[in-house]
């Protein structure tokens, strides 16, 4: 009899499932894993601090673009003499709005492109990544925060999930500044509120952050 089977017989199936759920939810770091897969337990404003750190490195008058959905932008984070523009990823119901808007920009004309919980909602993120590389100036920065473990959300669209290595591969021609998982307490909060998704579960709790710098 295995240790798991023995525990299951003593504790019963409900306790076994609960223990497995806690084990899966517990943040951990594989000591043999490369730095790109590190896990952090973030504060509520961690995403904001990561973005503001990159914004502070930009010169006055720099152009900053945020990819947003449903108008949920973060213009208030862009302080100082910076030029901010939001591109809605599904403006007027156009699923390729991001691609169309980026293609109107000149080469090497933007200093930073970032998004929060948006890149997973883009139908062709690999094409958008190519356009981001084109419009960014040499040494320009792109930063994306995306939900990895999350409920299915079809509004406006929900196409994919990214690991840190997935975003590194998407922006393979960039120098990686950081790529990491972030563990949050959101899953426990959702379970306490009884919120479930289309499949009957609450899968919030893990984010992926990536920041890359254009070579040149």
In order along the chain (216 residues), what is the average pLDDT of each group of 10 residues? 44 50 44 44 73 96 93 89 93 78 96 95 93 98 90 76 95 97 68 60 74 96
In sign, the C-alpha dihedral spanning 111, 117, 118, 122 is: positive
Reduced to 3 states (helix: H, G, I; strand: E, B; else coil), residue 144 is strand
Helical (H) or strand (E) element with 7: helix 3-11
pLDDT for the residue numbered 182: 85
The residue to which tokens 């084109």 are assigned? 134
pLDDT for the residue numbered 109: 98
pLDDT for the residue numbered 97: 86
Q: What is the CA radius of gyration of the chain?
A: 20
pTM of the complete model: 0.74
- Delineate the domains of the chain, giving CATH numbers in brackets: 34-214 (3.40.50.150)
pLDDT for the residue numbered 7: 38
Reduced to 3 states (helix: H, G, I; strand: E, B; else coil), residue 181 is strand
pLDDT for the residue numbered 158: 83
């Amino acid at each position: 009899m295995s240790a798991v089977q023995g525990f299951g017989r003593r504790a019963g199936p409900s306790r076994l499932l609960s223990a497995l759920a806690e084990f899966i939810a517990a943040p951990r770091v594989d000591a043999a894993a490369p730095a790109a897969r590190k896990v952090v337990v973030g504060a509520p404003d961690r995403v904001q601090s990561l973005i503001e750190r990159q914004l502070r490195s930009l010169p006055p008058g720099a152009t900053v673009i945020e990819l947003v959905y449903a108008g949920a932008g973060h213009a208030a984070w862009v302080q100082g003499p910076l030029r901010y523009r939001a591109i809605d990823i599904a403006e007027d119901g156009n699923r390729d709005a991001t691609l169309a808007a980026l293609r109107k920009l000149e080469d090497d004309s933007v200093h930073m492109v970032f998004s929060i919980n948006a890149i997973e909602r883009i139908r062709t993120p690999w094409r958008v990544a190519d356009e981001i590389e084109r419009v960014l100036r040499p040494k320009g920065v792109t930063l994306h925060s995306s939900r990895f473990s999350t409920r299915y959300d079809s509004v406006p669209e929900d196409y994919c999930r990214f690991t840190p290595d997935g975003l590194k591969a998407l922006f393979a021609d960039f120098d990686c500044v950081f790529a990491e998982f972030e563990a949050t307490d959101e899953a426990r909060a959702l379970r306490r509120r009884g919120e479930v998704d289309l499949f009957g579960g609450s899968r919030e709790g893990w984010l992926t952050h990536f920041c890359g710098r254009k070579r040149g």
